[in-house]
Structure 1
Amino acid sequence: MSGLVGADTLQQEYDVVVVGSGGGALTGAALAAAAGLSTLVLERTPLVGGTSAYSGGACWLPGTDVQQRAGLPDSTEGARAYLAAVLDDPDQDRVEALLAQAPRLVAQLEADPLMELEWIPFSEYYDAPGRVPMGRSIQPRNIRRDELDPAVTAVVRPPVERDRAGQPGRSTLSGGQSLIARLAAMTVRDGGTIAVGHQVTGFGRDADGRATTVRYDGPHGPGEVRARRGILVAAGGFEGSAERRTAHGTPGDAAWTMAPRGTNTGEVIDAAAAIGAATDWSGEGWFCPGLQQPDGSGAFTLGFRGGVMVDAAARRYGNECLPYDRFGRVMAEDPSRTPSWFVFDSREDGRLPAIAMPEGDRAEHLAAGTWVEADTLEDLAAATGLDADTLVATVERYNGFAAAGKDEDFGRGEDEYDTFFAGGGGPSAALVPVDKAPFTAARFVLSDLGTKGGLVTDASGRVLDTDGAPIPGLYAASNSTASVFGSAYPGPGAPLGAAMTFASLAVEDMRHEIG
């Protein structure tokens, strides 16, 4: 059968069937295969990794040996204090499960010669007790493609800027590509099978109420497979579905999400709900300002080091250097902020003073009108439909803050995160004046890294039914679930860290199943 890595044909039955192939899904698959469980991964697209492959690969997994080796003042207790300050009314059992499991999971992964992890300096997103200076997130080390099974690396999704352009991945796998490639290679090496091009269409329960059947559409038509120990749903959220976003009141737009195109449309969550699973949509999403591209899509943007963001009234409405999810939530508070215009000057030779993935080509932006250039702020306002007097006043006020070194309106530059990417030479590194013509305005929309509402799970990753009882044999992790963090985004790699942790807890529970 075509579309298989690690096998020539699909079996009718496996111990573990994993739906999805992101960081959470493949962590579960790798650990299940390492434990001697026959493991199948079903991925709807021709490539594995999903949005995880686009990511920087940061994992928020506190209290591990990796942080200790780096000499960080990190601990499980410190992370507990941090989450207590950051999260609003959390499920404390799930929080404690994450904190207890993170060090064990990292030890398991590092025991494998295919996995190497290191600390990555990247500030956490809240000034709260327990915060670690320069962050506690970890990531896989870079690895060359030819160091891994070529059958695996051939199906790893490329970085977003290359994937959207239809280009192949690079010879050195970094960040999310390194994470996905390593986990997939571990899975296949230990006997697991990865089936790409297999879209899950439904689940079935046996006469005893146990979830045992996964139905799919594959390269040769519909089929089904049985799971003896458990089914792990880790197939992303519903960010790619305009209809589901509207139904669940999720801000933003399916065209602006960072999920790979044509993926993460929520059918798998609905399929689990159809067999009795409970759902919770209150977490909304992992938001970010999105640089609008000429084709209408959004590009994840962070690390603003200059410029000002203005709404339809040409006024600033927040600290542009906030962590991306926090700024995205500020954008979502008022419809007049989507789209926004990000106004910057020529001090970086026309480049966006921020990190956008992808940034796109300036000439193409200008031709499409997603970027506008003018010699004066008044002309820039005319080209964007903004009020000229207000725009000039907004920029002049900001420039006064830059000269004084203090943003009296929004406190830009006062937090560690604000200055992490900054490089200005004035009184405040985060306050760089906008005063060198010509000027550019770039259109921004509300993007996301995925939704965070979905299946309700317990501290073992078991999916609960509408009465609050576990559905035997059914587990979930990643953005297919209601996030353990609720509406908060604690720090770099929080989505991946939680997905990996609860996938590993699910596999631990499966190992105790009679099957």
Structure 2
Amino acid sequence: MVDGGGRRFVNESLNYNDAGRALAQLPGLRPDGAVAWLIFDSSYRKRYHIGTIRRDAPDPEWLVSVSSLEEMEFELGIPGGQLEETVVEFNRDVARGVDTRFQRGQSAYDRFVGDPTSPNPSLGEVVAPPYYALPVLPGCLGTKGGPVTDEDGRVLSEGTPVPGLYAVGNTAANPLGTAYPGAGGTIGPHLVFGRRAGRAAGEKWSLTMFLHRPNRVGD
């Protein structure tokens, strides 16, 4: 994956949270155009499903396909020679089995999601035309910007609980800050803090408080 200048900027095997954060930090980020490109060759195209594109399906019209890296640079508006330089460097690392720039394939996570190949389960050469490119854009998975709460899910205003107001899960501020640990990562906090909030609310706001209210005129 390369930026608009044809240079790699991240370990492409990272989870989507960390890879997305790297993408969001690219200069020139904008919602109306591609800020990065996923580059791959015909060997990769035949071997893997790519997003919604099945490996045995025809190439969709929006998939960039060219016969050379030089042509790819022209199509994507990348400075001449930069993409070729990046691919040469990448292929050199593939042959050695070591990503010298971003250590792709060295972490336990990378090895788990990689292929059973050696010397590096997460690296493969980009050498077989035609070459392909997909625009990569940041997307929104959920929100993490809700109100701050205490350990019982009570919403805090300047450090003081707001009477009767509780929030848990994605409606509350994320205890992990700007991070998202992975698929299902909010389920645990939902269960734990939902239970705590329910207990706290039950102890504070018993049903008898509402059942034994004096009748109002006209009730």
In 2: Cα distance, 1:423 partner to 1:365 partner: 24
Q: 2-side partners of 1:486 and 1:425: how far apart?
A: 36
Which residue does the alignment assign to 1:450? 142
Q: How many angstroms apart in 1 are the aligned matches of 2:91 and 2:8? A: 12
The Cα of 1:366 is off from its aligned counterpart by 3.6
1:312 aligns with 2:8: no
Letter in 2 for 1:435: V
* Unaligned residue ranges in structure 2 (runs of 5+): 208-219
Q: Determine the C-alpha separation between the residues in 2 that align with 1:414 and 1:387.
A: 31
Q: Match of 1:511, SS?
A: helix
Structure 1: how far apart are the matches of 2:161 and 2:69?
60
Pick one of 461, 476, 479 that aligns with 2:170: 479
Q: Secondary structure at the match of 1:383?
A: helix
The answer to whether structure 1 residue 514 and structure 2 residue 210 are counterparts is no
Contact 1:344–1:352 under 8 Å retained in 2: no
Q: Please give the alpha-carbon distance, in whole angstroms, between the structure 1 residues aligned to 2:9 and 2:95.
A: 20
Shift of residue 387, structure 1, vs aligned partner: 2.5
How far off its partner does 1:509 sit?
1.6
Q: 1:365 to 1:476 in 2, by over 3 A?
A: farther
Instruction: Give the C-alpha shift of residue 499 in structure 1.
Output: 2.4
Residue number in structure 1 paired with 2:43: 347
- Match in the other structure for 1:498: 189
Q: Alpha carbons of 1:412 and 1:361: their partners in 2 closer, same or farther (altered >3 Å)?
A: closer
1:436 to 2:132 alignment: no
Instruction: Give me the TM-score of the superposition, normalised by structure 2.
Output: 0.82
* Conserved? CA contact 1:346–1:437, under 8 Å: yes
Deviation at 1:399, TM superposition (A): 0.6
For 2:7, what is the secondary structure of its paired residue?
Answer: coil
Alignment correspondent of 1:326 = 18
Kindly provide the CA deviation profile for residues 426-464 of structure 1, in whole angstroms up to 9, marking residues without a partner as x: 411111111121111011001232121111111001112
Is the contact made by 2:26 and 2:35 (CA closer than 8 Å) also made in structure 1?
Answer: no
Match of 2:119 among 392, 416, 427: 427
Q: Which residue of 2 aligns with 1:401?
A: 93
Residue 17 of structure 2 contacts residue 181 of structure 2 at CA under 8 Å; is this kept in 1? no
Partner of residue 459, structure 1 = 151
Partner of 2:88: helix, strand, or coil? helix
Q: Which has the larger radius of gyration?
A: 2
Match of 2:110 in 1: 418
User: How far apart are 1:378 and its partner, in Å?
Assistant: 1.4
Distance in 2 between the 1:422 and 1:353 partners?
14
1:353 CA displacement: 5.9
Amino acid at match of 1:342: L
* Partners of 1:473 and 1:365 in 2: CA distance: 56
1:75-474 paired onto structure 2 within 5 Å? 309-336=1-28, 339-350=35-46, 356=51, 359-360=52-53, 366-367=60-61, 369=62, 371-423=63-115, 425-465=117-157, 467-474=158-165
AA at the equivalent of 2:93: F
| Structure 1 residue 360, shift from structure 2 partner | 4.8
**Which has more strand, going by share of residues?**
1
> Contact 1:424–1:430 at 8 Å: present in 2 too?
no
SS at match of 1:378: helix
CA contact (8 A) 1:403 1:426 kept: no
Write the deviation string for residues 301-350 of structure 1: whole angstroms up to 9, x where unpaired: xxxxxxxx000000001111112111111111123465210001122444
Instruction: Check conservation: 2:48, 2:54, Cα contact below 8 A.
Output: no
AA aligned opposite 1:481: A
Measure the CA separation in 2 of the matches of 1:361 and 1:349: 9
Distance 2:163 2:45 in 1: 59
Give 1:13's aligned residue: none
TM-score by length of structure 1 reads 0.37
Q: Which runs of 5+ in 1 are unaligned?
A: 1-308
CA distance in 2, matches of 1:440, 1:407: 22
Percent same amino acid at aligned positions?
Answer: 36
- Secondary structure, counterpart of 2:42 in structure 1: coil
Secondary structure at the aligned position of 2:163 is classed as strand
Q: Write the letter of the residue equivalent to 1:384.
A: L
Work out the CA distance in 1 between the residues paired with 2:47 and 2:74: 22
Opposite residue 339 of structure 1, the aligned amino acid is V
Letter in 1 for 2:201: M
Question: Secondary structure of 1:335's partner?
Answer: coil
Aligned CA-pair RMSD: 2.3
**Over residues 173-222 of structure 1, what are the superposed CA-to-partner deviations in whole Å (9 max), with x where a residue is unaligned?**
xxxxxxxxxxxxxxxxxxxxxxxxxxxxxxxxxxxxxxxxxxxxxxxxxx
Indicate conservation of the 8 Å contact 2:3/2:37, yes or no.
yes
Shift of 1:382: 1.7
Give the 3-state SS of the residue equivalent to 2:81 in structure 1: helix
Q: 1:352 to 1:408 in 2, by over 3 A?
A: same
Match of 2:180 in 1: 489
How far off is 1:361 after superposition?
6.9
